[in-house]
């Protein structure tokens, strides 16, 4: 059974499309400690450790925790609370791959570090690491952050570097590519919006085609950063 963590502000049409893909939706509630633009973003409030364990920010609502437990998941809590002041809002916003963990390690929550200590750690200066990275495979990533690009290229990743901007994020000037999408499977990636309405969509489509990953669009709008679509099976 496929599940997906989404921002509580997902639009009805987006939700309908996602459910048509046989995905069960779990809406991440608003976190009052965060500023409105990101206060429901899944990649800010949680990090999936494996198919049974999810690390959630320590002040997460009791109802949400109960929902996770009802699904047979094991929720564990962050060491620190989230705050709207950087870097206290990025403590969980890491790229957590099968064998590799990418984040600004100086600010990663201690509890998260405990669970990934067996992985290869790649330290980057960008604290909003997951927001900034669209994962195509365990060795292929799309980003608009030049420092992430340079660091990952040096670690034998294939990286598509895009110019910033042209992604909607209500409340801010623009959003990030990682916050627009998520892998449903190794061969399918889901987007909020449509790449045909993104300035650099052809570059993204070409990169996805290189890895035989099919894009699926939840709407025909420009790309929207609602926080990463975070899929898991249970």
- 3-state SS string for the chain: CEEEEEECCCCHHHHHHHHHCCEEEEEECCCCCCCHHHCCCHHHHEEECCCCEEEECCCCCHHHHHHHHHCCCEEEECCCCCCCCCCCCCCCCCEECCCEEEECHHHCCHHHHHHHCCCEEEECCCCCHHHHEEEEECCEEEECCHHHHHHHHHCCCEEEECCCCCCECCCCCCCCHHHHEEEEECCEEEECCCHHHCCCHHHHHHHHHHCCCEEEECCCCCCECCCCCEEEEC
Tell me the pTM. 0.97
Q: What is the pLDDT of residues 47-98, one digit of tens each?
A: 999 979 999 999 999 999 999 999 999 999 999 999 999 999 999 999 999 9
What is each CA distance from 38 to 19, 54, 165, 171, 196, in whole angstroms?
A: 23, 19, 17, 9, 25
**69-77 long-range Cβ contacts below 8 angstroms, 24+ apart:** 71/3, 71/26, 71/234, 72/234, 73/234, 76/49, 76/111, 76/115, 77/111
How confident is the prediction along the chain (234 residues), in pLDDT tens digits per residue? 899 999 999 999 999 999 999 999 999 999 999 999 999 999 999 999 997 999 999 999 999 999 999 999 999 999 999 999 999 999 999 999 999 999 999 999 999 999 999 999 999 999 999 999 999 999 999 999 999 999 999 999 999 999 999 999 999 999 999 999 999 999 999 999 999 999 999 999 999 999 999 999 999 999 999 999 999 998
Q: What is the CATH number of domain 2-233?
A: 3.75.10.10
Give the angle subtended at the CA of 168 by the CAs of 215 and 127, to the nearest 5°: 90
| pLDDT value of position 126 | 98
Q: What is the pLDDT of residue 51?
A: 79
Q: How far apart are CA 71 and CA 49, in angstroms?
A: 16
Whole-number Å distance between alpha carbons of 145 and 126: 8
The answer to whether the beta carbons of residues 44 and 37 sit under 8 Å apart is: no
Could you tell me which residues are beta bridge partners of residue 160?
A: 142
- From CA 63, how far away is CA 66, in angstroms rounded? 5
Domain boundaries, the chain: 2-233
Supply φ then ψ for residue 116, to 5 degrees.
-115, 15
Backbone phi and psi for residue 21, each to the nearest 5 degrees, phi listed first: -95, 15
**pLDDT, position 28:** 98
């Amino acid at each position: 059974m496929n599940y997906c963590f989404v921002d509580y502000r997902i639009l009805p049409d987006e939700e309908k499309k996602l459910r048509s893909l046989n995905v069960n939706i779990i809406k991440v509630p608003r976190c009052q400690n965060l500023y409105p633009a990101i206060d429901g973003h899944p990649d800010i409030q949680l990090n999936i450790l494996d198919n049974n364990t999810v690390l959630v920010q320590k002040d997460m609502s009791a109802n949400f925790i109960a929902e996770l437990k009802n699904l047979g998941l094991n929720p564990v809590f962050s060491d620190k609370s989230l705050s709207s002041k950087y870097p206290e809002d990025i403590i969980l916003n890491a790229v957590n791959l099968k064998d590799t963990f990418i984040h600004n390690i100086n600010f990663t929550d201690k509890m998260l570090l405990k669970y990934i200590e067996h992985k290869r750690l790649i330290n980057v200066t960008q604290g909003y690491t997951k927001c900034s990275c669209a994962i195509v495979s365990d060795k292929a990533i799309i980003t608009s952050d030049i420092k992430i690009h340079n660091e990952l290229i040096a670690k034998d990743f294939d990286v598509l570097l895009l110019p910033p901007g042209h992604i909607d994020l209500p409340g801010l000037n623009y959003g990030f590519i990682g916050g627009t999408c998520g892998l449903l499977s190794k061969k399918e990636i889901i987007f909020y919006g449509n790449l045909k309405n993104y300035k650099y969509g052809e570059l993204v489509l070409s990169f996805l085609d290189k890895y035989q990953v099919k894009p699926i669009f939840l709407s025909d709008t420009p790309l929207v950063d609602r926080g990463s679509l975070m899929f898991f099976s249970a």
